[in-house]
């Protein structure tokens, strides 16, 4: 419990978050304030491991809380067994509440409700309800579904003690090769603006933002889509954002919509703008952009959280990743911190060494008043979220929330509905032949899985015995070296000849449904004529695809971006402009009426 008397105004829940923050701020020492400005990472572990450094060069989590006074942590990786997670979580909160003024920890996470599993960007759903990726939500064009999705996220996060969502990502995917396109809402600014409004409504919950809400970190201001050659600024070769068609303001449009919808936090990206009115330095150090544009022109008064690793070099999955200070030279972690604070950053993501800021204040490089501005915002958010009144989580409640199947069923249905049928007619299965109860399917998934045996279908192992072959493929990419770098799917959008040959062989003599999972755009030109029907998905389990194949759920998705005809067409198009590739194979908004299969009692046979 807090080591202060309950008579202090900051513990009075009837006061406004701003009043409580002002009162508590006056009671903090310099280390307390500096610790608030650091948003470190944490891996769930046994309670006993809290005293052991979890990553090279870092102090233990407990000492980070007690000594450095860090009070924000991003949960990395899986939660693991729920009892162990609850014990770990509550022990960390007890440590925080017993240390100094008793400020509780705010826990955050990257997305955890879909299929992408990249330690740097997103985690697979696991115990949480599984929904389509953001591209799939955009494919549905349905703000009500997006709001229900985000409401499910809110309910499940809060039960798990997570109060900050490091999402949504509202960059415009105008560069089809960009590896982060899969977590956007596509390339249309109007659709993305519609989606973010619904998303924030779900995260914030009914009524005003409050103790049952989840704080949203909208990213990546001012729009991370127009990456030179589609490369990503996690890495030095992807540091440049370019605007050959002058569409800088178009990429701002969704962020303006997010601010109007009550976005609580903003995250600038790593990249540096090239050829604009702004300095050619990384966005996190770009004062005219953060303070001038975001705060003064657009009126954003929330928290500005830097992307991860702005200050210090790191080794991630065995790969050296330098601090993301693109456009600056010969900077130390201390000078980077000073420049970012000068620019308007409130909090450093993925960093733990709060002594950097203590030293800057003690040396006179940064004023304590500047530190107070950011600390006040961060404290007010904790008060608004109700953390001082209810910092702990309950194992029984968490288990009950995650066991409630309503959200999982809604997520599964959304996965099926978000499928986009690109080609094919109404019926893939013919009506001639012998009577039998169920259609026979040969299921070939990219990961070797298939749906569980169930009424309504018989799975076979030979195409000659199948009424329909269902072949699932992943979108192509060029694998990059390095443990961390290889997680980012970048480079060519074209399938290698071996995959085209595989699809051609599968289509020979069998009715074929080809389903391609798109984590970014793909060039489908050599495949489009081969199957009887071609669908794309944006995060769908085998069961979700099967439900659509059996007409249990009718797919209604529409493409959230153009699908280009070739890599050459992409290379020739301006990086920042939507719908700019020449003669795309399929246009934004394309989606046919899905096939309808026949009931189990009807005659089913391959129609050659």
Task: Return the active site residues.
Answer: 307
Neighbours of 111 (CB within 10 A): 22
CB 392 within 8 A of CB 168: no
533-537 and 420-423 strand pairing: antiparallel
Contacts of 497 (CB under 8 A, 6+ apart): none
**5 three-state secondary structure:** coil
265-268 and 303-304 strand pairing: parallel
Alpha-carbon distance 582 to 585, whole Å? 9
Half-sphere exposure at residue 453, Cβ-oriented, CA atoms within 13 angstroms: 3
End-to-end C-alpha distance for the chain, whole angstroms: 73
CB 469 within 8 A of CB 510: yes
Phi, psi of 569 (to 5 degrees): -65, -35
CB 13 within 8 A of CB 389: yes
Of 454, 452, 426, the residue nearest 600 (C-alpha): 454
CB 133 within 8 A of CB 519: yes
Alpha-carbon distance 427 to 10, whole Å? 65
CB 303 within 8 A of CB 277: no
Of 246, 335, 236, 235, the residue nearest 285 (C-alpha): 335
DSSP 130: P
How far does CA 382 lie from the centroid of its chain? 22
H helices of 26-165, in order, are 30-36, 61-66, 82-97, 134-140, 143-159
Beta bridge partners of 273: 241
**217 three-state secondary structure:** strand
């Amino acid at each position: 419990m807090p080591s202060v008397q309950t008579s202090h105004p900051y513990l009075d829940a009837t006061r406004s978050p701003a009043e409580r923050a002002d009162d508590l701020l006056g009671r903090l020492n310099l280390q307390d304030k500096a610790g608030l400005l650091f948003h470190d990472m944490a891996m769930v572990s046994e309670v006993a491991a809290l005293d052991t450094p979890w990553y090279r060069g870092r102090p233990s989590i407990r000492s980070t809380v007690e000594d450095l006074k860090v009070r924000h942590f991003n949960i990395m990786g899986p939660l693991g067994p729920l009892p162990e997670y609850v014990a770990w979580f509550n022990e960390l909160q007890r440590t925080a509440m017993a240390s100094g003024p008793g400020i509780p920890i705010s826990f955050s996470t990257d997305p955890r409700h879909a299929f992408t599993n990249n330690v740097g960007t997103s985690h697979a759903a696991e115990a949480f309800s599984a929904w389509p990726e953001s591209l799939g939500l955009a494919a549905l064009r349905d703000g009500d579904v997006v709001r229900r999705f985000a409401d499910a996220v809110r309910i499940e996060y809060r039960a798990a003690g997570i109060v900050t969502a490091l999402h949504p990502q509202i960059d415009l995917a105008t560069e089809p090769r960009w590896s982060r396109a899969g977590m956007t809402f596509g390339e249309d600014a109007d659709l993305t603006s519609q989606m973010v409004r619904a998303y924030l409504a779900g995260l914030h919950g009914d009524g005003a933002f409050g103790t049952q809400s989840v704080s949203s970190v909208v990213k990546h201001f001012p729009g991370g889509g127009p990456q030179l050659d589609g490369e990503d600024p996690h890495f030095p070769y992807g540091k440049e954002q370019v605007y050959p068609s002058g569409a800088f303001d178009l990429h701002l449009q969704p962020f303006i919509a997010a601010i109007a919808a009550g976005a609580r936090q903003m995250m600038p990206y790593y990249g540096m703008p090239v050829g604009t009115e702004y300095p050619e330095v990384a966005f996190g150090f770009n004062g005219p952009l953060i303070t001038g544009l975001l705060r003064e022109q657009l009126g954003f008064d929330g928290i500005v959280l830097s992307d991860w690793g702005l200050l210090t070099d790191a080794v991630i999955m065995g790969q050296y990743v330098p601090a993301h200070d693109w456009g600056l030279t010969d900077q130390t972690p201390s000078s980077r911190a000073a420049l970012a604070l000068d620019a308007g950053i409130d909090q450093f993501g993925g960093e733990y060494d709060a002594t950097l800021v203590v030293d800057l204040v003690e040396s006179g490089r940064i004023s304590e008043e500047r530190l107070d501005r950011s600390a006040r915002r961060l404290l007010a958010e904790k008060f608004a979220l109700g953390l001082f009144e209810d910092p702990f989580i309950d194992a029984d409640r968490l288990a009950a929330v995650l066991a409630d199947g309503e959200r999982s069923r809604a997520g599964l249905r959304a996965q099926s509905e978000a499928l986009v049928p690109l080609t094919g007619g109404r019926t893939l299965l013919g009506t001639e032949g012998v009577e039998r109860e169920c259609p026979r399917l040969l299921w070939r998934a990219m990961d070797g899985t298939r749906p569980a045996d169930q009424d309504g279908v018989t799975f076979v192992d030979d195409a000659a015995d199948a009424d329909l072959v269902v072949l699932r493929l992943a979108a192509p990419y060029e694998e990059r070296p390095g443990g961390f770098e290889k997680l980012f799917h970048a480079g060519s959008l074209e399938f290698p000849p071996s995959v085209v040959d595989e699809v051609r062989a599968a289509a020979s003599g069998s009715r074929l449904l080809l389903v391609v999972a798109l984590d970014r755009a793909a060039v489908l030109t050599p495949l489009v004529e081969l199957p009887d029907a071609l669908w794309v998905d944006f995060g769908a389990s085998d069961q979700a695809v099967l439900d659509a194949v059996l007409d249990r759920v009718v797919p209604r998705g529409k493409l959230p971006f153009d699908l280009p005809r070739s890599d050459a067409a992409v290379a020739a198009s301006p990086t920042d402009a939507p719908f700019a590739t020449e003669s795309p194979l399929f246009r934004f908004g394309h989606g046919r009426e899905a096939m309808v299969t026949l009931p189990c009692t009807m005659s089913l046979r391959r129609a050659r």
